[in-house]
Amino acid sequence: DTAVSQTPKYLVTQMGNDKSIKCEQNLGHDTMYWYKQDSKKFLKIMFSYNNKELIINETVPNRFSPKSPDKAHLNLHINSLELGDSAVYFCASSQGGLAGGIGETQYFGPGTRLLVL
């Protein structure tokens, strides 16, 4: 069984559309994250959720909205997609949070490759 799974694996869409990426973890972890990896391969944290509560929201446009229906799921909704949103988006989870466990290991999903045309 995959520990952290994401769907879809690939997403090609037109500018201006609204899309969602789903993430699920079966590790029983309390904290989930979304990262964006741009074309230069830099990984940057976008959001951190601990027990369904938003902990970190880096300077991400409000077109991006994370939604956590339960602690095993953290979905990413993106409204009015722009060309610059094209990237690989990674979901991750950890037992503790960034603020609660300095030594915590994060487990990453396989990524969703988003291409906005």
Partner 1 sequence: DAKTTQPNSMESNEEEPVHLPCNHSTISGTDYIHWYRQLPSQGPEYVIHGLTSNVNNRMASLAIAEDRKSSTLILHRATLRDAAVYYCILRDDNDMRFGAGTRLTVKP
Position among 43, 54, 115, 117 found at the interface with partner 1 (CB under 8 A): 43
As a whole number of angstroms, the distance between CA 115 and CA 11 comes to 6
**Using an 8 Å Cβ cutoff, are 89 and 43 in contact?**
no
Tell me: does residue 60 bind partner 1 (CB under 8 A): no
Strands 112-116 and 10-13, sheet pairing: parallel
Q: Which of 11, 29, 66, 109 binds partner 1 (CB under 8 A)?
A: 109
* Cβ-based nearer residue to partner 1, 79 or 111: 111
Select the span of 60-68, 70-78, 79-87, 101-109 touching partner 1 (CB under 8 A). 101-109
Query: What is the biggest distance separating any 2 CA atoms in the chain, rounded to whole angstroms?
Result: 40
In angstroms, give the least distance from the CB of 106 to partner 1.
7
Q: Is 111 in the site for partner 1 (CB under 8 A)?
A: yes
Q: How far apart are CA 110 and CA 117, in angstroms?
A: 23
Residue 96 near partner 1 by CB under 8 A: no
Task: Give the binding site for partner 1 (CB under 8 A).
Answer: 4, 33, 41-45, 56, 90, 92, 98-99, 102-103, 105-111
